[in-house]
Amino acid sequence: MPQALARQALLRLAETHELPGVRDRLLPMADTLAADLIALESGLGAVVEADGDLASKAAAHLLAAGGKRVRPVLCLLVAKAFPPGEPPPTVTLLAQVAELVHNATLLHDDVIDLGDVRRDRPTSRAIYGNAASVLGGDLLLVQALGLIEAAGVPQLVPSMLDVLRRMIGAESQQLENRGRADVNEADYFFVSEGKTASLFEWAMEAGARCVGAEEHEVRTLKRFGHEVGVAFQLLDDLLDLQDAPDSIGKNVLQDVQGGTVTYPVILALKNEPALASRLTSAAAGAADPELAEDILAAVHRSGALADCRKLIAQRTTRALAALEPLQPSAAKGALAAVATALTERAR
């Protein structure tokens, strides 16, 4: 079972990196990463009892659905990028933490957004109810903090508490954005830095600290996590729009109602304020059958997709610069490959 999930995760990771240059750079890591991912899945499987109480069941259901495991992979890679390239076993605990906290936020998000499907399966809240999903998220958080304590690496508990504060702040902002189509770029970055980048930063910090990195190295590597996290969110936004332009009307409407608007749409609405106020009315319940087409047209007119791609490329460049202090190694190459893949996928 752990093997199956680990293989799945590697495949999903490989799919994101479907370009020859990237694959070549990930290849030298494939064997060691596969072993690490199997250990990761075993660990995640032991965190909650799949046949335990309702909170455990809700948490286990989501964990068993798999995922790309990108946060643990970053944590593992950065730890391996320090000589001699063989981090202590505690790194597996910290890699688990990054994934557990991510899953905890998903369990809570699905309750807030009333989500019914995730990773092609019914959500935990759809099966076990809202309260169980909230408790399942709480449980994963508590288990994650317990693992950080158990790992015994200094400073990682307070830095995780900072991450959680930023996440709560971002969620609060998102609640305040509900029904608003005039969300600006500053709001957008506040939310995506708080919800996504903060945990990417922590994954890098944890991997670096557990192999005894210097403070200045930790700072720089967190910067890598920050840039990759923001780019990751921007790429998600871009692919949403490119892959399913037909559903843009419904999606954008739901986004506004839920307090999130994707970056390209923010740019387009900023250029055409009349469209933003039509969208606000529609979010409040006023039918507007031509809205979807008009938004899509506005997105293209505004050049928002190109701007979004440019921003992802900029973030990747900054991320790569943050890797400079590291000595050359297969792990460093793999970290670079993850960052580069985001830009290449965005093209």
Residues that bind a copy of itself (CB under 8 A): 53-56, 108, 111-112, 129, 131-132, 134-135, 138-139, 142, 145-146, 149, 157-158, 161, 164-165, 168-169, 171-173, 175-176
Angle, vertex CA 124, rays to CA 123 and CA 129, nearest 5: 115
Of 149 and 288, which has the nearer Cβ to a copy of itself? 149
Closest distance to a copy of itself from the beta carbon of 78 (Å):
24
Neighbours of 339 (CB within 10 A): 24
Six token digits for residue 329: 């190694």
Of 83 and 158, which has the nearer Cβ to a copy of itself? 158
Closest distance to a copy of itself from the beta carbon of 128 (Å):
9
Q: What is the DSSP string of 270-283?
A: HH-HHHHHHHHHHH
Six token digits for residue 338: 């993850």
3-state secondary structure of 37: helix
Closest distance to a copy of itself from the beta carbon of 157 (Å):
6
Angle, vertex CA 113, rays to CA 108 and CA 118, nearest 5: 75
Of 149 and 215, which has the nearer Cβ to a copy of itself? 149
Element of type H or E holding 28: none
Return the closest-CA partner of residue 23 out of 346, 299, 334, 342.
334
**What is the C-alpha separation between 198 and 293, in angstroms, rounded?**
35
Of 131 and 284, which has the nearer Cβ to a copy of itself? 131
Closest distance to a copy of itself from the beta carbon of 152 (Å):
11
Closest distance to a copy of itself from the beta carbon of 32 (Å):
32
Closest distance to a copy of itself from the beta carbon of 58 (Å):
9
| Residue owning tokens 């608007």 | 261
Of 135 and 298, which has the nearer Cβ to a copy of itself? 135
Closest distance to a copy of itself from the beta carbon of 169 (Å):
6
Of 139 and 206, which has the nearer Cβ to a copy of itself? 139
Beta bridge partners of 121: 118
3-state secondary structure of 289: coil
Q: Are 202 and 153 in contact (CB under 8 A)?
A: no
Six token digits for residue 185: 């770029």
Of 88 and 158, which has the nearer Cβ to a copy of itself? 158
| Residue owning tokens 């059958």 | 289
**What is the C-alpha separation between 117 and 332, in angstroms, rounded?**
36
**What is the C-alpha separation between 135 and 283, in angstroms, rounded?**
31
Closest distance to a copy of itself from the beta carbon of 192 (Å):
16
Of 169 and 325, which has the nearer Cβ to a copy of itself? 169
Closest distance to a copy of itself from the beta carbon of 217 (Å):
23
Of 46 and 131, which has the nearer Cβ to a copy of itself? 131
Beta bridge partners of 122: 117
Per the rule left: phi > 0, alpha: psi between -120 and 50, beta: everything else, 53 is beta
Q: What is the radius of gyration, based on Cα positions, of the chain?
A: 20
